[in-house]
Amino acid sequence: MDAGSIFIDQMGYEVGVPHIPTRVISLVPSQTELLYYLGLQDSIVGITKFCIHPDDGVRNKTKIGGTKKFNFEIIKSLNPDLIIGNKEENYQEGIEQLKSHYSVWMSDIDSLESSLDMIQQLGVIFGVSDRANHLADSIRIGFNGLPKFKTLSALYFIWNSPKMVAGTGTFINEIMKLGGFENMISTYRYPVLDDDELRRLHPEVILLSSEPFPFTERHIEQFESLFPESQILIVDGEMFSWYGSRLLHIPDYLIQLRERLIPTFSKSAQ
C-alpha cells in the first residue's frame, strides 16, 4: 500500500501507513489489551483466539486464528490497513506472507524499556500520543517505586513436558530481575532441561507459570521431588510475560508475590 507516513518498527523495518489506522488486526494478546486501554477498540477488526482481555470487549471481535497459525482468508476479508505483531509471539513464515499484502508493524520486546518504546510508538501511529505517553510515565513511576528486594536465585518454568524454562533475552527474565529473582539460566530464550540438569541447580525459588502451560497447585509435589530445598510458587504468567497496559499492575503483583515467600526468603535487602 502507498505510504503516507513511514514508521520504523522495533525490528528495524519500514512500515507505510497512509492514515491513522481504522481497520486494525492485532496478533498479540497483550498488545490487544493495550489498544483497548488507549481507547482504540473501535479500530480493531480482528484479533487472535488468545486475545482474551478485556473479556467484555474482545468477545465479539473476529478471530483470525492463533498467534502461530493465521487464517489468511479471514484476514483478507477484514481488509486491514494495519496489522500489529510481535517477533517472539508470532511465526516468521506467517508474518512474511502478511507483509506481502499488508502493512505489518512488529514489536520486539525483551525489557521494560522496549515495552515503553512500543507503547509510545503505537501512540504516535494511532494519534494518541498524549494517552500513550501518560501510560508510559505511569508505568515508569510504578516500577521506580518498587522496594529493593533481597535477591533470590530462581527458575521460571513455562512448560512441563519437556521441562522448559525462561532464559536470557526474554521479557520474563526482565520481570524476574525487577522482582528480585536472579535467573539461574544464562542460556538464551527458552531452553529445555532434563531432570539431572535441573537437580544440579539448587535454586532458592521455583516459579511455575500459569501460561502457556497451565501449572496449578497439583504440580507442586512433582517439583518438590526435584527441588526439595526450594520454595515453589504458582505465578500468574500474564504478570511476567504481558507487556503494554498490564505493566501498570505488575509492580504491585511483584510485591504481593514476595510477601507469599516464607520469612527466610521474603526479607528485603539491607
Q: Take residue 17 and report the three cell numbers written for it.
A: 501507513
CB atoms within 10 A of CB 5: 12
Q: Per DSSP, what are the bridge partners of residue 85? A: 106
Q: What angle do CA 94, 97, 98 make, to 5 degrees?
A: 90
Domains detected in the chain:
5-142 (3.40.50.1980), 152-266 (3.40.50.1980)
| Span 110-121, pLDDT tens digits | 999 999 999 999
Q: Take residue 81 and report the three cell numbers written for it.
A: 490497513
| Span 118-176, pLDDT tens digits | 999 999 999 999 999 999 999 999 999 999 999 999 999 999 999 999 999 999 999 99
Cα R_g (the chain), whole angstroms: 20
CB atoms within 10 A of CB 133: 15
Does the reported pTM lie above 0.85?
A: yes
Query: DSSP alpha helices (H): ranges in the chain?
Result: 29-37, 55-58, 72-78, 92-99, 112-125, 129-144, 171-178, 195-199, 220-226, 237-241, 250-259, 263-266
